[in-house]
Chain A
Amino acid sequence: MAGGQERILRRRIGSIDATKKITRAMELIAASRIVKAQGRVQAAKPYSEKVTAVITNLAGGGAGVDHPLLTAPEQVDRVAYVVIAADRGLCGGYNNNVLRAVERAIEADKSQGRDYALVLSGKKAAGYFSFRGYEIHAAYEGFTDQPGYSDAKAMAESVAELFESGEVQQVQLAYTRFLSMGSQEVAIEQFMPLEPSEIGADASQGSDSGGYEFEPEPAEILSRLLPRYAEARLYAALLEGSASEHAARQRAMKAATDNAEDLKINLTRIMNRARQDSITTEIMEIVSGAEAMSQDDDDGLKDIIEQSLEGSFAALASDRNDA
């Protein structure tokens, strides 16, 4: 019966309304977190800029560039991927984009006969790769929402160990770069060995920064400084990833809220139509009943019929106004 259908529709609208409230709340939370995450990205910049400047000055002061983190091995047999994804889903393509890009890169490496090692940040990354049967070297989770420097430090240490022991000859860093609120892109960059040109440690340049006193020897300072540089770089990538995650979540949840709203409008329309149908049918039944009765000319019965007809018309009219 039509009344049954109406009840089902009403229940669906109620459930969509509840979902909409949740997605709306998630959207607002994500929006407020983007701002904070962007602030942290900015706050981390002075440190990494200064570290880079000191390295440049050190190189100018004659520090040798023969640190293990700067030495490129002759042959690359195994590449480590540091993958930065999220702990939670419901953030559009954020996780999948970076994870698929890494999977493609691993495939490309395999075709060149190179093995892989995975160092993962985020529960979703660990889930993705373990489900597909990849071997995971190390997985970190619990901080992608709001990464701290100590998290970056722990990760960087395990990666540096992997690289310096010679187990892997190259490390790639895969994360999502935060360009603006509306656009983020997946980036896979070489993390180790460090590019001497990138950190300004080219011996050729920086002759203008001579005249420094060093304590201890420049080479020793450099060997202490390079791991800090790697940490700072990983920390920056974690922060950008976290900002991108919140931006992606905000967009996904906005789309979900809009869809829920559309769905609600459509279902309300269908539900009203079902109600009107059932009322029309009712009127038809009463009218045809009245026709049959009028031959008997029973005044008492006729009054009752007229009253119920009026009631039905009033309900129909208010329904039209609603729709």
Chain B
Amino acid sequence: MQVELVSPEAVLFSGQCSQVVTRTVDGDIAFLDNHAAFIGALDIGQTQLWAEDGVVSLAINGGFVEVSGNAVTILSDGALSAEDIDVDTARSDLAEAEAALSTNAEDANAAAAKTWAETRIQVGTAA
């Protein structure tokens, strides 16, 4: 199936994939060929594309996914591929977010920052 990963500034990926795994706000979801039409809001998480020349891993900071007519479109204004991730920055962001959470466990921004930092570390270190 045809997969496109589009950010506001550029098309980050465009090509054929056999499988796409991403995370919507309700949980992880995988798309294979000829998946039913689908629209979902993406949560912060890892997205993996099984492209012809290997698996592409990306950290996605929220966005949307639309599936129709054997084509998957992922829209995200915060997508980073593994080589763009600075793991050290992500680690320090994680420490910062955890410190903020320890003073106020209800802080939604810090919780999101923590998840985003963890996702970046996961994607960045796997590469």
A148 at the interface (CB under 8 A from B): yes
Evaluate contact between B75 and A51: CB separation under 8 angstroms: yes
Evaluate contact between B37 and A149: CB separation under 8 angstroms: no
B8 at the interface (CB under 8 A from A): yes
Give the contacting residue for A214; candidates B7, B8, B39, B75; CB below 8 A. Answer: B39
Which residues of chain A come closer than 8 Å to B36, judged between CB atoms? 211, 213
Residue of A nearest to B40 (CB): A215
B66 at the interface (CB under 8 A from A): yes
Which residues of chain B come closer than 8 Å to A53, judged between CB atoms? 66
204-239 of chain A: CB within 8 A of chain B: 211-216, 218, 220-221, 224-225, 228, 231-232, 235
Q: Which of B24-32, B84-92, B101-109 contacts A (4 or more CB under 8 A)?
A: B24-32
Which residues of chain B come closer than 8 Å to A155, judged between CB atoms? none
Which residues of chain B come closer than 8 Å to A61, judged between CB atoms? 39
Kindly state the interface size class of chain A when it binds its partner.
20 to 34
CA–CA, A40 and B39, complex, Å: 27
Q: Mark A135-156, 1 if CB is under 8 A from B, else 0.
A: 0000000000000110011000
Which residues of chain B come closer than 8 Å to A231, judged between CB atoms? 8, 77
Give the contacting residue for A57; candidates B9, B66, B77; CB below 8 A. Answer: B66
Evaluate contact between B11 and A212: CB separation under 8 angstroms: no
B127 at the interface (CB under 8 A from A): no
1-22 of chain B: CB within 8 A of chain A: 4, 6-11
Evaluate contact between B77 and A54: CB separation under 8 angstroms: no
Evaluate contact between B25 and A213: CB separation under 8 angstroms: no
Evaluate contact between B77 and A228: CB separation under 8 angstroms: yes
Give the contacting residue for A50; candidates B10, B26, B41, B75; CB below 8 A. Answer: B75
Which residues of chain B come closer than 8 Å to A215, judged between CB atoms? 24-26, 29, 38-41
Evaluate contact between A54 and B66: CB separation under 8 angstroms: yes
Minimum C-beta distance from A284 to chain B (A): 74
B50 at the interface (CB under 8 A from A): no
Evaluate contact between B66 and A50: CB separation under 8 angstroms: yes
Which residues of chain A come closer than 8 Å to B6, judged between CB atoms? 46-47, 50
B73 at the interface (CB under 8 A from A): yes
Residue of A nearest to B63 (CB): A228
Knowing A47-B6, A215-B25 are in contact, say whether A220-B41 is a contact too (CB < 8 A): yes
Q: Mark B41-77, 1 if CB is under 8 A from A, else 0.
A: 1000000000000000000000010101000010101
Which residues of chain B come closer than 8 Å to A214, judged between CB atoms? 38-40
Ranked 5 nearest A-B pairs via Cβ: A215-B40, A149-B8, A212-B37, A47-B8, A213-B38
B residues apposed to A, CB below 8 Å:
4, 6-11, 24-26, 29, 36-41, 64, 66, 68, 73, 75, 77
Given contacts A44-B8, A215-B29, 20 further A-B contacts (CB under 8 A): A40-B9, A46-B6, A47-B75, A50-B4, A53-B66, A54-B64, A57-B68, A58-B39, A149-B77, A152-B8, A212-B38, A213-B38, A214-B40, A215-B24, A215-B39, A216-B24, A220-B41, A225-B41, A225-B64, A231-B77
